[in-house]
Chain A
């Protein structure tokens, strides 16, 4: 791929969850709407909100009580993940009609490399058409950044919201990008921003003109990377397969209160394991390693993991190991947060189970069924069978990451 003259789009859905809700219930349009997890509990935080709510000071990750104090008329909705997934799928399929180089990065944003696919057309015109189609077919707003690379495209899509189309050329970075405060740079989190400010870097321009060595000493390899990005350099290709490179699946939860009762803690571990198992099932993977995270009341955090000799996938298998790890490593201090992560994942289709002479009968009983399934798969394709899933159990904030693998699966099915 020639690095010169690439045309990259970053498509970013505007307040995605809230917009989807508004598309379903048009009477909400123009009103302050927020989507939040569990309104009753202290972890009830704003996941996203409409622009009307944002205008009143409601922000993502803000606790609900605080959001209400900013905006008493706020309409708070529980998330409907199935709706979001459906909308996302539709949105990405529209993008895939333009170019095969679509790389979703989350449920509501993705990159496109349209270099070889805009032909004679004006890239801005193409972007406008995408934006119109998403609005017409889904009733959803989005912003599109157009730039010669992913980083600039991402920064560009942020510049005008909602329904913006922003072109960021490399020669424009001095007056469009460098003037932005450093914390608005993609890739600079709170901690990095603090560190940079200590060496008097306040804007992206300050970063771009700082010498690389100082940055490297301060931030390691990431310092060098950020310096390049600030100068508009980013070679990363748009990789449609990148979404599949997940290595672990984990869920964690802050407890409603600090817990010391093992029975209660085990209940939480059961719930977390159930979520992890559900996500593993969605991705069709099995795990060989389970990790438990315990954060104590004083925020001291430990992680302990157990390497297994076999593949596991069910809720019970996961929770049994998580509980055993807990019993082995808990120091009996009050627990503030628990996390369960399945690691060393293998796609089920690459997995194989060596049968055991002494108990193969259990598997062999179903042999006729498997043979019949294989024959049908051969005749009608891999998707002839779908596992019945309990969709209710799927609500989780880690959900966003998971849909990505689905996207890839769907694409694979089509090609």
Chain B
């Protein structure tokens, strides 16, 4: 095998597949990157048992030549040193040469590295995904869906199923839900051409989605999503991202969302974030990062936080409107800030149903597509 390749696309591909490579793998060969060269281009593969990423560098793309010379072949090379080596090479072109004894030579300008390779035949065969369950999304939309939900997955393994994002598609409506059992993030989008598609209880590990999000560029290109019983594949032109799905039944979450409210607050989102952020300066030290919100007259909210050993902070915030019953409620400031940032709307509407019940935050333009739910903290 021999290739003469542009350094930049090679570097980008290496960084993509590195997202799947874990230094703590139990299968030694998975600590390496597989390089495969054929007449069309070069494919890199990285994998741990949960995620597999393939990144393709086409020989030529949009009139730009990536690879100048190809002699087909394949090799597995230790991933640990490769990114740094490629990054620091002196020239913009890199020559990679593999001999019959699995020795890898990397040449660029006057620099030459010799690395020991491993036989690519020993690299596990990736499962071929056979499914009819495929649909397309725009990449920037997918990235937004991930950003708006994935932060709410559980980081604790007490209920493993909650460490993933639940994906559901029915009647042309795609819904993503994540909850750590203290807060819940939900985002729906309408699909145009998925009438025949239907699936439920697809739970993607939160970690997979955050890696996927890092690899994907903010573009309007489409990504194809294919779902099977235990795996999900995201496929763009040059990237295959395969993730294991979580086992188990995702809890029914629609019943958790209150359908009535006793107090409705409409408020500028940015002002609320800033105010909560200030209040939480003192609250960070206490265990639940608690801030307290109290409705006052003249459409104002009082936001306070108290850390007995540090001090007290109090501020008032003017809202657009407060309707319904008076309310005093305490909650984790971080949950509120996460939720408001995810909604990313100028004005939000917060619907409370009492100090001990979860409250719902939505964008004020009555848009049913995104919803953030937060359970309060009970103080004594």
- Identify the A interface with B (CB < 8 A): 347-358, 360, 363-364, 366-367, 370-371, 374
Q: Are A356 and B375 in contact (CB under 8 A)?
A: yes
Q: Are B377 and A353 in contact (CB under 8 A)?
A: yes
Q: Tell me, in angstroms, the Cα distance from A401 to B334 when the chains sit together.
A: 39
Task: Name the contact of B288 in the complex, choosing from A347, A354, A374 (C-beta under 8 A).
Answer: A354
Q: Are B380 and A349 in contact (CB under 8 A)?
A: yes
Q: Are A352 and B354 in contact (CB under 8 A)?
A: no
Task: Name the contact of B355 in the complex, choosing from A350, A352, A353, A370 (C-beta under 8 A).
Answer: A370
With a CB–CB cut-off of 8 A, which chain A residues contact B332? Answer: 354
Q: Are B379 and A352 in contact (CB under 8 A)?
A: yes
Q: Tell me, in angstroms, the Cα distance from A351 to B373 when the chains sit together.
A: 23
Task: Name the contact of B286 in the complex, choosing from A350, A353, A363, A374 (C-beta under 8 A).
Answer: A350
With both chains docked as a complex, state the minimum distance between the C-beta of A353 and any C-beta of chain B, in angstroms.
5
Given contacts A349-B380, A355-B358, A366-B356, 14 further A-B contacts (CB under 8 A): A352-B378, A353-B380, A354-B182, A354-B332, A354-B377, A355-B377, A357-B184, A357-B358, A357-B375, A360-B356, A364-B354, A364-B356, A364-B357, A367-B354
What 10 A-B pairs are tightest by C-beta distance, nearest first?
A: A364-B356, A355-B375, A367-B356, A352-B377, A353-B378, A352-B379, A363-B356, A348-B380, A352-B288, A354-B377
With a CB–CB cut-off of 8 A, which chain B residues contact A354? Answer: 182, 288, 332, 375, 377
Q: Tell me, in angstroms, the Cα distance from A177 to B167 when the chains sit together.
A: 81
Task: Name the contact of B356 in the complex, choosing from A350, A352, A355 (C-beta under 8 A).
Answer: A355
With a CB–CB cut-off of 8 A, which chain A residues contact B356? Answer: 355, 360, 363-364, 366-367, 370
Q: Tell me, in angstroms, the Cα distance from A344 to B373 when the chains sit together.
A: 32
B256 at the interface (CB under 8 A from A): yes
Main secondary structure on chain A at its contact with chain B?
mixed
Tell which of A348, A350, A367 has the most Cβ of chain B within 10 Å.
A350
Contact-residue size bin, chain B (C-beta under 8 Å from the other chain): 20 to 34
User: Who on chain B is nearest to A288 by CB?
Assistant: B287
With a CB–CB cut-off of 8 A, which chain B residues contact A350? Answer: 286, 308
With a CB–CB cut-off of 8 A, which chain A residues contact B181? Answer: 356-358
Q: Tell me, in angstroms, the Cα distance from A354 to B286 when the chains sit together.
A: 12
B251 at the interface (CB under 8 A from A): yes
Q: Are B328 and A374 in contact (CB under 8 A)?
A: yes
User: Who on chain A is nearest to B374 by CB?
Assistant: A357
Task: Name the contact of A357 in the complex, choosing from B179, B290, B328, B354 (C-beta under 8 A).
Answer: B179
13 contacts across the A-B interface (CB closer than 8 A): A351-B380, A352-B286, A352-B287, A352-B288, A352-B377, A352-B378, A353-B377, A355-B378, A357-B182, A357-B183, A358-B181, A364-B357, A370-B356
Chain B stretch 309-368: residues in CB contact (< 8 A) with chain A: 328, 330, 332, 354-358
With a CB–CB cut-off of 8 A, which chain B residues contact A370? Answer: 355-356
Q: Tell me, in angstroms, the Cα distance from A357 to B373 when the chains sit together.
A: 9
Q: Tell me, in angstroms, the Cα distance from A15 to B355 when the chains sit together.
A: 52
With a CB–CB cut-off of 8 A, which chain A residues contact B354? Answer: 364, 367
Q: Tell me, in angstroms, the Cα distance from A366 to B356 when the chains sit together.
A: 9
Q: Are A360 and B358 in contact (CB under 8 A)?
A: yes
Q: Are A352 and B373 in contact (CB under 8 A)?
A: no
Q: Tell me, in angstroms, the Cα distance from A355 to B183 when the chains sit together.
A: 10
Tell which of A349, A352, A366, A374 has the most Cβ of chain B within 10 Å.
A352
Task: Name the contact of A360 in the complex, choosing from B330, B375, B379, B380 (C-beta under 8 A).
Answer: B375
With both chains docked as a complex, state the minimum distance between the C-beta of B289 and any C-beta of chain A, in angstroms.
10
Q: Are A355 and B308 in contact (CB under 8 A)?
A: no
B376 at the interface (CB under 8 A from A): yes
User: Who on chain A is nearest to B179 by CB?
Assistant: A357
Tell which of A349, A353, A366 has the most Cβ of chain B within 10 Å.
A353
With a CB–CB cut-off of 8 A, which chain A residues contact B290? Answer: 352
User: Who on chain B is nearest to A368 by CB?
Assistant: B354
Task: Name the contact of A371 in the complex, choosing from B184, B286, B355, B379 (C-beta under 8 A).
Answer: B355
With a CB–CB cut-off of 8 A, which chain B residues contact A355? Answer: 182, 356, 358, 375-378
Contact with A along B262-303 (1 / 0, CB 8 A): 000000000000000000000000111010000000000000
Q: Tell me, in angstroms, the Cα distance from A138 to B287 when the chains sit together.
A: 45
With a CB–CB cut-off of 8 A, which chain A residues contact B358? Answer: 355, 357, 360
User: Who on chain B is nearest to A362 by CB?
Assistant: B356
User: Who on chain A is nearest to B327 by CB?
Assistant: A371
Chain B stretch 244-260: residues in CB contact (< 8 A) with chain A: 251, 256
Q: Tell me, in angstroms, the Cα distance from A374 to B354 when the chains sit together.
A: 14
With a CB–CB cut-off of 8 A, which chain B residues contact A367? Answer: 354-357
With both chains docked as a complex, state the minimum distance between the C-beta of B315 and any C-beta of chain A, in angstroms.
20
Chain B stretch 222-251: residues in CB contact (< 8 A) with chain A: 251
Q: Tell me, in angstroms, the Cα distance from A357 to B184 when the chains sit together.
A: 8
Chain B stretch 142-194: residues in CB contact (< 8 A) with chain A: 179, 181-184
A363 in contact with B256 given A355-B356, A357-B179, A357-B181 (CB within 8 Å): no
Q: Tell me, in angstroms, the Cα distance from A354 to B287 when the chains sit together.
A: 10
Tell which of B256, B328, B379 has the most Cβ of chain A within 10 Å.
B379
Q: Are A363 and B378 in contact (CB under 8 A)?
A: yes
User: Who on chain A is nearest to B256 by CB?
Assistant: A357
Tell which of A348, A349, A354, A364 has the most Cβ of chain B within 10 Å.
A354
